[in-house]
Amino acid sequence: MNMKLFQIYFSPTGGTKKIVSFMSRSWDCEKVEIDLSDPLEDFSGYVFGEEDVCIIAVPVFGGRVPMAATSNIRKLKGNGTKAILVAVYGNRAYEDALLELKNTASLAGVCCIAGVAAVAQHSIMNQFAAGRPDLRDERTLTEFSERIKGITGQKTVKAELWVPGNDPYKEYKVVPVIPKTGKECNQCGLCAEECPAGAIPKKNPMLTEPEICISCMRCVVICPQKARYADNELVEMMSKRLREVCSVRKENELFLLEIVEG
Ligand SMILES: Cc1cc2nc3c(=O)[nH]c(=O)nc-3n(C[C@H](O)[C@H](O)[C@H](O)COP(=O)(O)O)c2cc1C
């Protein structure tokens, strides 16, 4: 069988991408990466076959899927392609994100066979889940993907994958953390080019449009001059509020579709 594994991810600061790479190791076939955070790419050209497998991975923002990822996932075309859904969160909670991802991916025509909630370092409050995914996560995620791989060739009997979440979803309510620019900025324009929301004007990369910015922190992480930063006081205030809930290590979870041998 000439199957391909599509590694589809929205990963502003790289944690989600790392989880996808761990989850892909078990597959010994051609792999194709699709980066949903490329603001210039038209994703409507991607059509997947029935024999292919897609890993669709997003970070959790405010217990939901970031809108910028949802709108691009909607453009993909599955043809009953088996899909593994991955919601990556910063050790607080993933709430309705996995369910929202399942509903969005199903509308794109894929058949959801597994859902994974995985933990990566918090991209705003870096002290939470610091250094994750770590070795222990790597082992768990490899084991998950072996189990998922085991069911990909089998006939499904239960039509729908169950993942936790509320429908209607919780309201998207995130405290905006709009990055600022320091004097180290030499206006190279990399942040404007790479911003998944298009919130940084190319002609003046020192600015950030607050109504467009999704607080994803990509510009902070990629700036070669380290000129972009989040407001320290705001981050500290948020950290204080979340310290208790974010400090206990959360483990990765797997939800598998019920199947019988075909
Ligand atoms: C705007 C924003 C909102 C977030 N909301 C949540 C959340 O609700 N729960 C949580 O556990 N982590 C939350 N996080 C942390 C991210 O889900 C986590 O760091 C993820 O690994 C980021 O993915 P990336 O490294 O691929 O960008 C949030 C991060 C950002 C930037």
pLDDT in tens, 65-109: 999 999 999 999 999 999 999 999 999 999 999 999 999 999 999
**Which among 10, 141, 151 is positioned nearest to 68, based on CA atoms?**
10
Angle at 258 between CA 163 and CA 95, to 5 degrees: 5
Q: Is 124 in the pocket of ligand 1 (CB under 6 A)?
A: yes
**Which among 100, 113, 96, 53 is positioned nearest to 73, based on CA atoms?**
100
Q: What are the DSSP calls for 147-202, one per residue?
A: HHHHHHTSPB-S-S------SSPPP--------EE-TT-----HHHHH-TT--S-T
In this structure, the strands spanning 111-119 and 30-35 are unpaired
Residue 84, Cβ neighbours under 10 Å: how many? 29
Question: Does pLDDT of 1 surpass 70?
Answer: no
pLDDT of residue 154: 77
Question: Does pLDDT of 255 surpass 80?
Answer: yes
pLDDT grade for 260, boundaries at 50, 70 and 90? low
pLDDT grade for 18, boundaries at 50, 70 and 90? very high
Q: How much distance in Å is there from the Cα of 51 to the middle of ligand 1?
A: 32
Q: Is 89 in the pocket of ligand 1 (CB under 6 A)?
A: yes
| Buried/exposed code over 32-61 (b: 16+ C-beta within 10 A; e: otherwise) | eebebbeeeeebeebebeeebbbbbbbbbb
pLDDT of residue 2: 85
pTM of the model: 0.97
Q: Is 91 in the pocket of ligand 1 (CB under 6 A)?
A: yes
pLDDT of residue 152: 87
Residue 103, C-beta contacts closer than 8 angstroms, at least 6 positions apart: 167
Task: Output the average pLDDT for the chain.
Answer: 95
Q: Is 174 in the pocket of ligand 1 (CB under 6 A)?
A: yes
Q: Is 90 in the pocket of ligand 1 (CB under 6 A)?
A: yes
Q: Cα separation of 246 and 215, whole Å?
A: 19
Q: How much distance in Å is there from the Cα of 89 to the middle of ligand 1?
A: 5
